[in-house]
Amino acid sequence: MAEQNCLVTNDWICGEYLRTRSQELTDATLQHVGITLASVAIGLAVSLPLALLARRWRFLAGPILGVTTVLYSVPSLAMFSLLLPFFGLSVSLVVTGLVLYSLTVLVRNILAGLRAVPEEARDAAKGMGYGPLRLLWEVELPLALPALLAGVRITTVSTVALTTVGAIVDYGGLGTLILDGLDTTFKAQVLTASVLCVLLAVVADLLLLALQRWLTPWTRAHRIRTSRAARKAAVAKVAEPA
């Protein structure tokens, strides 16, 4: 009975809530993870060709970076609302909005990574008879991987946070629980969902860090260089869309 009370007294921390609503929490978390994964994956699939275009034709670099930066300044509530006439109240609306936000950081990082590939490495591969595609896939992309993955980490963490705003169209994962909790002034639900959301961001970041170390073992010898690059990236854009 004592435990039952925390639901009645509306405490911030409530074990009974976790026990009775675990299904609801799991569903919301899975939706959150799904939306984040889809957004980052599509974001990568869109930004890689954009970065390649911007590198191939210099005159395209300005417009591509400019447009993605402008998109980045649009507040998330407005972004999702602007897409409403095109997608209706659907999960693709939320994913599209999040993809548009991911482009700035991803395109910039991929482009910076590709531009930092040493000319000697490129020349050596060409001398060995590599064609443009093989050069890209086997030499340039692996060398650009640290910068690319740094971008993916930033994007993933902010996407986890931004997904919550999708609650406005009912596809916000944990954000939907947070917003419901406001309507019913159900404190345990708001706090639990918020904490889960932050945990999700931290876990995703750590997993990506592990992936980065596993995929790019050679960078550990150059720790100083990569950390400087990461700091530069942090300087370029430290604020997130809200």
Partner 1 sequence: MNAITGAYDWLTTGANWQGEKGVWHRLAEHLYFSGVCLAVACLIALPLALYLGHIGKGGALAVNISNVGRAVPTLALLILLTLTPLGEHGDAPTLIALVLFAVPPLLTNAYLGMREVDRAVVEAARGMGMSGGQLFARVELPLAYPLIMTGIRSAGVQVVATATLAAMAGEGGLGRIITAGFNLQNTPQVVAGAVLVALLALLVEGVLVVAGRLFDPMRRSGGTAH
Q: Which residues bind partner 1 (CB under 8 A)?
A: 70, 73-79, 81-82, 84-85, 154, 157-158, 160-162, 164-165, 167-168, 175, 178-179, 181-182, 185, 187, 190-191, 193-194, 197-198, 201-202, 205, 231, 234-235, 237-242
CB-count burial class (<10 Å; 0-12, 13-18, 19+) for 55:
middle
- Cα separation of 204 and 113, whole Å? 22
- Cα separation of 153 and 71, whole Å? 20
Six-digit token pair at 13?
């921390």
User: Of 196, 204, 202, 185, which Cα lies nearest the Cα of 24?
Assistant: 196
- Cα separation of 187 and 14, whole Å? 9
CB of 43 to partner 1, least distance (A): 16
CB of 89 to partner 1, least distance (A): 9
Using an 8 Å Cβ cutoff, are 10 and 178 in contact? no
User: Residue 136 or residue 193: which is nearer to partner 1 going by CB?
Assistant: 193
CB of 119 to partner 1, least distance (A): 24
CB of 214 to partner 1, least distance (A): 22
- Cα separation of 150 and 105, whole Å? 9
User: Residue 124 or residue 234: which is nearer to partner 1 going by CB?
Assistant: 234
CB of 174 to partner 1, least distance (A): 8
User: Residue 143 or residue 188: which is nearer to partner 1 going by CB?
Assistant: 188
Phi-psi region of 225 (alpha: psi -120 to 50; beta: other; left: phi over 0): alpha
CB of 45 to partner 1, least distance (A): 23
User: Residue 210 or residue 234: which is nearer to partner 1 going by CB?
Assistant: 234
User: Residue 139 or residue 156: which is nearer to partner 1 going by CB?
Assistant: 156
Using an 8 Å Cβ cutoff, are 71 and 110 in contact? no
- Cα separation of 134 and 236, whole Å? 31
Six-digit token pair at 228?
């400087």
- Cα separation of 97 and 71, whole Å? 10
User: Residue 140 or residue 146: which is nearer to partner 1 going by CB?
Assistant: 146
CB of 14 to partner 1, least distance (A): 14
User: Residue 126 or residue 237: which is nearer to partner 1 going by CB?
Assistant: 237
